[in-house]
Structure formats: C-alpha cells, structure tokens
Structure 1
Amino acid sequence: MAQPDWQQLSTDVISLLKEGRRQVLAKMHQTLTVDEKTSRKDLVTNVDKGNEQFLIGGIRALDPDAQVLGEEGFGDTVTSLTGRVWIVDPIDGTMNFVKQRDHFAMMIGIYQDGVGQLGFIYDVMNDVVYAGGPAVGGVWANDRQLNAPANLALADGLMGMSAPLALHDVAHTQAIVEASSGMRVYGSAGIEIIHVLLGKTLGYISQLKPWDIAAGQILLNTLGVRVSTIDGQPLDMLSSNLVLVATEQAQRDILRIEEDDVSL
C-alpha cells in the first residue's frame, strides 16, 4: 500500500469533518430518532448513523484501498491493523448530544500497520479541530500549534474520570481521585482528551472501545502524554480497554496505586 501525502490527507480530512459538522448542525434541532444499544445510557441516533455513513463515504473517496472501522457498523469488519486502517466515531458523547446539544465530538484516527499516523478530534459546538500526529510533526487546534502539556504529578492536577468507574470504585479509581486535585466528568472521551491536550486536566480513565480512543491516542502520544491500560500495558486497538491517559509523572503515581492495591 503506497504512502499517502499525509499533509494533504490531513487537509482533506479536516474539510470532510467540517462538512460533517455542517450536516450535523442542520439536523440537531430536528426531532431525533433515539435508540438504545446496550442500555438506556448507551444511545444511538439517526444523526450518529447518518454522519458515519457520510464520513465513511468521504474516506472511501480519499483512500479507497484502506479498511474503515466505524462505531455504528457501516464500515468494514476489521480484524487486523495491517495496511491502513481508519477508525471513526461519528458522534462521541451521544448522551450529551441528545440531552444538551453540546459537549460532543467527531473523531477519526488513521493507523498504518498498527502505528498511529493522524488523529482528529472535532469539538463540534466550539468549531475547533484538534488534528495532527507523527505523520505531520505536531498537533494543532485549528491553526494554533499546541505545546506539550506540563508533566504534572497526580497531586498537582485534575483527573478526568468515567463517573461509573468512580462510583463503583473500579480499579481503585476513588483512591486515584483522592490523590489528585479533584475529579472532572465531561461525558465524552473526545472532550476529555481535549482537556488533557490543553493541560486543563492531567489524565483520564475510562472503559473505551477503539473508536473512543483511536484518534486521541495519536494526538496524546504526539504531545508526550502516556496512553495505556490501567496497569500500564499497550492498548489492543481492536478491543475494549480500561484506558489510562496521563502525564508521565501522573501515570507513575497511578500505577503505584494500582500495584499497592491500597486506598489513600
């Protein structure tokens, strides 16, 4: 598989996302068709499905030989990251989209033979695309290049967290929150990751599927933020993982809590 012009591809993907945004905004104040997937808190709408079909159609035109994994099932059955694989989340934070019409994102990650090359997280309502990766040598918020966030220890910053994990104290998340400066819950992996990229939080813990973390992992790693399982292992990008996003120092602090198996 030939290597693309990554810079041109990035430009084309941003244009595709912006058109997707235009279509989403046109539909979001209409009556939504809302269905449950696995529970009443796991929703999908006609807008999720329509946007995924639109994005995958655009991806097929840009990169016809690639595989595409989409959350809503309109892509390929992907069993390997060999070659070029695009991973798409058409609406990340669907509950926020349904209940608030805010705080949701569109996300695309592009992997070449298992290595993340380009990631895109679109904060739809604020009209900011966070884009970049090793293929283009950095991460940008629209036209502004981002610096790496400060490498803070756990005690020195806020921790993003999935509320159910903290409520049920999965993997000692309550001890992790107690050791941090406080917990923040935004209800969208994409929005959570944006806060880490900007240094507003120093980490994030949640159970995530490939489309929830594919784009974010690329952007975070490019800025030196660690992404791993909760016990510090590499992610399986085609499976669900209990994901730990953290600065290097905070990751070390969190892994110590996991290893010590104690509450602070």
Structure 2
Amino acid sequence: MSRSETALEAAQAGADVAMDHYRSALTVETKESKTDYVSEGDVEAQREVVEVIRSAYPDATIVGEEEDELKAVPEDGNAWVVDPIDGTTNFVHEIPLWTTSIGLVRDGELAAGVSVAPALDHVFYADESTVRRDDESVSTSDTTDLEAFSVAPILRYGPDREEAFGSLLTSLLVEFGDIRRLGCAQLTLAFVAAGSLDAAVSALPNPAAWDTVAGAHMIERAGGTVTDVHGDPWEPGCEGIVATNGAAHDEVLDRIGPALEAY
C-alpha cells in the first residue's frame, strides 16, 4: 500500500472514531482562548490515525495537532501532517462542517492530501495524479469575474488580531461577490479544490501545517494556485495563505493587498 493510500485509510479510521463522539456527551477543554476547543474526540481520533500510520510505517515522522507529536514539518524526509478534527468548534456545537485531515510532505514538498468529512459523507483525496471528491474527479472553478467570486476567510486569528481580521473581512465583502466562513480550514480548502468556492484567504503568520497542507496540495493538483500573502510559492511555515482557482490569482492578491498591510 502506498503512503497516500495509507493516509486515506488512516484518515477514514480517525474520522470513524471522531464520528463516534459527534453529538454525544463530550469532555471539552480550551487552549489559548475560550473558543479554542479540544475534545476527547480530537485526542482519540489522532491516536487512531497514528496507530494506522505506524502499523504500516513504524518509523513514520508525524506532525500532529494534539499530544506530543511534532509541531512543525521537518525540512527533509517524509512527514505525515495530522489534524484529527479540523473545525473542533463546529464539532463541539454539533455543526457538521469538520474533517479528519492528513497531508503528506516529502522533503518540504506537498505530496498528498486527504480530508474526510464524515458528517457530510464526503471524502476529499489527492495524490500526485488525481483529485477527487468521493468517487468523482474534481477541479477548481473557472470563474474570472471577481464580482462573482465566493471567497472564504480561514483560520483562527485571536483577540490580538481582531481589528486586522475585521479589515480583511471588510475587504473581502467589498472586493468580491460574496464571502463564506465555514469554521474549518481544511474543508474550505477542499471546497476550493472541488470548485465549490473560488478562493480562501488567511493572513495569519505561520499558519499551522495541520490546518493547511492537505488542502493546499488538493488545490494545486486540481488546477489552482496557492501562495503566501506576498504571492510567493506557498510552503508550510510561510506567511499566510492565499488559495484560488488559479484563474485570477494575481487579481485576488491585488484586491486584498491593502487589508493585509494591517498585519
């Protein structure tokens, strides 16, 4: 079984564990803010993911949001980047917009990504040759008219960046057709890859790899473009993320540029 196939198996196994906890009595704690949740579902789902990966690759390097796994992607070698429940706030509030996501990185380059959204009955998957939602091949949208663009702000910003985030939201409302905030970065990026959204934007410095790697890979393989906020090629650890259908990427960067100066 290839690494990408193992990632798919592990994400599905982790999603099954998370789904067992969904809409049930949960033990929930908070991290850096009152809305930055972690539940027993997060922890147990990650343990399941890690067990599946290490049963196939005992020496696997794992970057994971929970517990004691690595928190940054190594520059060399293969790494598995795991988010057991992306969108935990949605998960805790019984909103079905959450995923179990795994991204593969090889010597710093994106290699595969999978996001399983069990409450929506969707599986998004991309390796080096294919991108699909469930059993259907997908690609990014071909929208070029920014007044028709659906753009999604992604990732948590925190109280110290509320004013800057507000500036970005205002810019998105004014400059594009409509905005959607789903509360799950990986699902949002998967929707860009599948053509349901035209772009996703975050100016958050150094966004976590587990929030971005799987979806960034899907978008690039689906025909889109992913850069940092300056338009440079995106990689884990860079400044922000701007992910578009690729048809009007430079125009999107130009439109949001003034708002990004607030960061």
TM-score where L is the length of structure 2 = 0.86
AA of the residue aligned to 1:222? R
Residue 138 of structure 1 and its aligned partner are, at CA, apart by 1.2
AA of the residue aligned to 1:55? V
Match of 2:47 among 49, 53, 57: 53
1:201 paired residue number: 197
Q: Are 2:17 and 1:18 equivalent residues in the alignment?
A: no
1:179 paired residue number: 175
2:153 paired residue number: 161
- How far apart, CA to CA, are the structure 1 residues paired with 2:41 and 2:78? 27
- How far apart, CA to CA, are the structure 2 residues paired with 1:50 and 1:262? 37
Residue 82 of structure 1 and its aligned partner are, at CA, apart by 0.6
| Deviations, residues 81-112 of structure 1 (Å, cap 9, x unaligned) | 31101100000000000012411001000111
TM-score where L is the length of structure 1 = 0.86
SS of structure 2 residue aligned to 1:131: strand
2:69 paired residue number: 75
Q: Are 2:103 and 1:104 equivalent residues in the alignment?
A: no
In the TM superposition, 1:120-135 aligns within 5 A as: 120-134=114-128
Match of 1:254 among 221, 231, 252: 252
Q: Are 2:209 and 1:210 equivalent residues in the alignment?
A: yes
In the TM superposition, 1:24-39 aligns within 5 A as: 24-39=18-33
Contact 2:146–2:176 (CA under 8 A) maintained in structure 1: yes
Contact 2:228–2:238 (CA under 8 A) maintained in structure 1: no
Out of 63-72 and 165-174, give the one that drifted further. 165-174
Match of 2:130 among 120, 138, 143: 138
| CA 240–48 in structure 1, closer or farther in 2 if over 3 Å, else same | farther
Match of 2:78 among 66, 77, 84: 84
AA of the residue aligned to 1:251? H
Residue 140 of structure 1 and its aligned partner are, at CA, apart by 1.2
| Deviations, residues 217-247 of structure 1 (Å, cap 9, x unaligned) | 111110121112222123341x374221112
| Deviations, residues 31-50 of structure 1 (Å, cap 9, x unaligned) | 21111110011110111011
Contact 2:63–2:70 (CA under 8 A) maintained in structure 1: yes
- How far apart, CA to CA, are the structure 2 residues paired with 1:12 and 1:80? 20
What RMSD in Å do the two structures reach over aligned CA positions?
A: 2.6
Contact 1:172–1:257 (CA under 8 A) maintained in structure 2: no
SS of structure 2 residue aligned to 1:38: coil
The runs of 5 or more residues in structure 2 that have no matched partner are none
